[in-house]
A = this chain, B = another copy of it.
């Protein structure tokens, strides 16, 4: 066990992340944190673990890691239309390294500040590097966006662009041959992997408009399949409609871009369905989203189209090693 100086060191870094909040009655420093909920709201809870070598590469930049650890949990709240409010951090570290802690806490604090959420408690233990963050948020009673509300004939949308993070990972692993002079595009794609932006504002705006939503962490096909499963609908997907960034188009072939958009993980965009009667309301929402298809009455069946013609299903999504989805 470390001595007092090391213990104080950890405390010092994470106290900075604990911005005062009126609903946090007792933060770090007792057996439990004490918070006050709101009677008109329900609490949305999401927990995610990132393990070195599985979810991030060894020697990952600590600041990016601090950002991403929080971002992936916030992304789950975004998919429910919830407003994040507080979070806990369970951090397992092989050693106490001041520069690592400073970077990690900075990444965490910057994103936490953006969303005005407080770190209310946690646990730090010695062991192989892993980070578990649990985020709580509020969502007005019965307004949460769930996975089971889609009906046949809804339009299917995704936010942002798809496949960027998947390409970012391939770049990090030297699995892409990139021409000279594409540094800017490479930086963009790696940033999309390292510093995803949880779509909190869009998720909130979609309450009462979308009838189902999920965040895309394991690739569009894998995550859309959860909506199809829970809602008992199918999907017709127009491949030409998939939103691809110009950076990705500059780096890989059109076919590779499509594969990454369908099966690449870590995008943390939202996929959601909107019924016909809510299309006008959707148009009023500012934000970047694209219609990619429609739901059908064939449960769980996904059919791809290219230029109006049915296209072969290419590749396959992977099964996520998780109990939560």
Contacts and interface: CB of A to CB of B under 8 A. Distances in A.
Interface of A: 1-4, 6-7, 10-11, 14, 25-26, 28-39, 42-55, 76-77, 79-80, 82, 88-92, 120-128, 130, 132, 134, 137, 139, 144, 146-148, 213-215, 230, 318-325
Contacts of A31: 46, 76-77, 79-80, 147, 213-215, 325
B125 A55 contact: yes
A127 to B, nearest CB: 4
Nearest to A52: B127
Contact of A51 (B43, B46, B126, B321): B126
A127 B76 contact: no
Given A1-B318, A39-B39, A30 B90 contact: no
Contacts of A48: 90, 123
Q: Top 3 closest A-B pairs, CB basis?
A: A37-B37, A51-B127, A39-B39
A323 B77 CA distance: 25
Contact of A35 (B26, B45, B148, B230): B45
A218 to B, nearest CB: 9
A244 to B, nearest CB: 25
B124 A7 contact: no
A7 B226 CA distance: 14
A319 B11 CA distance: 13
A124 B51 CA distance: 11
Given A14-B323, A320-B1, A125 B51 contact: yes
A80 B30 contact: yes
25 contacts: A7-B319, A10-B323, A14-B323, A25-B42, A26-B144, A29-B230, A30-B147, A31-B46, A31-B215, A32-B79, A49-B125, A49-B132, A51-B126, A53-B127, A88-B134, A92-B130, A122-B324, A123-B322, A124-B322, A124-B323, A124-B324, A125-B322, A126-B321, A128-B128, A128-B130
Contacts of A214: 31
Contact of A323 (B28, B30, B50): B28
Contacts of A28: 323-324
Contact of A44 (B34, B76, B323): B34
Contacts of A122: 47, 323-324
A88 B45 contact: yes
A44 B215 CA distance: 29
Given A51-B92, A88-B134, A92-B130, A319 B45 contact: no
Contacts of A52: 127
A213 B125 CA distance: 23
Nearest to A148: B30
